[in-house]
Amino acid sequence: MAADMGWEIERFRSSLVGVAGSTADAYEGELHRFAVTMAESGVEGPTAVDRKVLRDHLGDLLSAGRSAATVRRRRAALRRYFAWALRVGILRADPTLGLTAPRGVARLPRVLRHDELQQLLDESPDYSGSPELRLRDDAVLEVLYGCGVRVSELCGMRVSDLDATSRWVTVLGKGSRQRRVPLHAGVIDALTRWIEGGRPSLVGPDSGDHLFLNRRGRCLSPRDVRRIVDLRSPVPTHPHALRHTFATHLLDEGADLRVVQELLGHMDVATTQIYTHVSRERLRSVHSATHPRA
């Protein structure tokens, strides 16, 4: 039905190059559900959709009990679709421009305390005679916190991405977008020890140029990274918490929001602004706990 009304969903799906398959599937599913709803409402194809139609649709989702996260996901898919439809000439204007979605009640990202971070980075458990794994895990954790990269970005790193002399690493982020992230001395030291003293003993026929390897000499997976964090963290912690901590600590020390946005690889500064709220909450907590008149 959707294709008959000019939505061209399969053509849109084929245009999603450089996007993870799961993300592309999600966009396709959201668009199909939207197209069906529009057909049931008498909206005949994408050319009949305007901003009011979109706002009413998102409002209807909330009224039906859908979560704010679901509404934001639908909005993201529609923004991607209508931008494509404009680009290929199906539409003359993009109705999603300026379209907002309800934020709902969002939880602020958890930031590790300094004692938790110190134990995670500096205090190692017994590795049962596997010093190369100790070197690898040290380097993984230093990169996660020292560079603020996503777990998927860390797993995709290659030795050739590193420039230890200039202290930069090239990161391949979402949508195959590259960015350069600076490396501080602690990260370079951990990486050097891993590359020179640990990685050679794990290299196998499937290693290629991958920077981080598992016991079988293959590219480290997100599940492997989760196990490393679980082993070292004194409290239940997700690897992404190190990215949150990286961003929050930068803002705590006065870093410019736009700089943090670039380091994190966020397309929209609004995504980065959540960390300004975290930073303010941390300052308020410290003030309340330490000021004599608080």
Residue 72's pLDDT band, with cuts at 50, 70 and 90, is confident
More confident residue, 289 or 46: 46
pLDDT tens digits, one per residue of 12-30: 999 998 888 888 999 999 9
Report pLDDT for 1.
45
Cross-sheet strand order for the sheet of 162-163: 162-163, 168-172, 178-182
> Is the alpha carbon torsion for 142, 259, 274, 153 positive or negative?
negative
Q: What secondary structure does DSSP assign to 208-228, as a single string?
A: TTBSSB-TTSSBPPHHHHHHH
Q: What is the mean pLDDT of residues 116-140?
A: 84
pLDDT at 2 over 70: no
Q: What is the mean pLDDT of residues 237-260?
A: 91
Bridge partners of 213, per DSSP, are: 219
Report pLDDT for 294.
47
pLDDT at 124 over 70: no
Q: What is the mean pLDDT of residues 124-148?
A: 87
pLDDT at 31 over 70: yes
pLDDT at 43 over 90: no
**AA letter at 239:** P
Residue 284's pLDDT band, with cuts at 50, 70 and 90, is low
Instruction: List the domains of the chain with CATH numbers.
Output: 3-87 (1.10.150), 114-288 (1.10.443.10)
pLDDT at 258 over 80: yes
The two tokens of residue 225 are 């990274």
Residue 291's pLDDT band, with cuts at 50, 70 and 90, is low
The two tokens of residue 151 are 């777990």
Catalytic residues: 150, 174, 240, 243, 266, 275
Residue labelled with tokens 């709803």: 37
Residue labelled with tokens 């050319």: 47
Q: What angle do CA 123, 129, 132 make, to 5 degrees?
A: 70
pLDDT tens digits, one per residue of 161-194: 999 899 999 999 877 889 999 999 999 999 999 9
Residue 59's pLDDT band, with cuts at 50, 70 and 90, is confident
Report pLDDT for 129.
60
Q: What is the mean pLDDT of residues 230-248?
A: 89
pLDDT at 119 over 60: yes
pLDDT at 3 over 80: no
Q: What is the mean pLDDT of residues 80-101?
A: 90
Q: What is the mean pLDDT of residues 123-131?
A: 69
Tell me the pLDDT of the chain averaged across its residues: 86
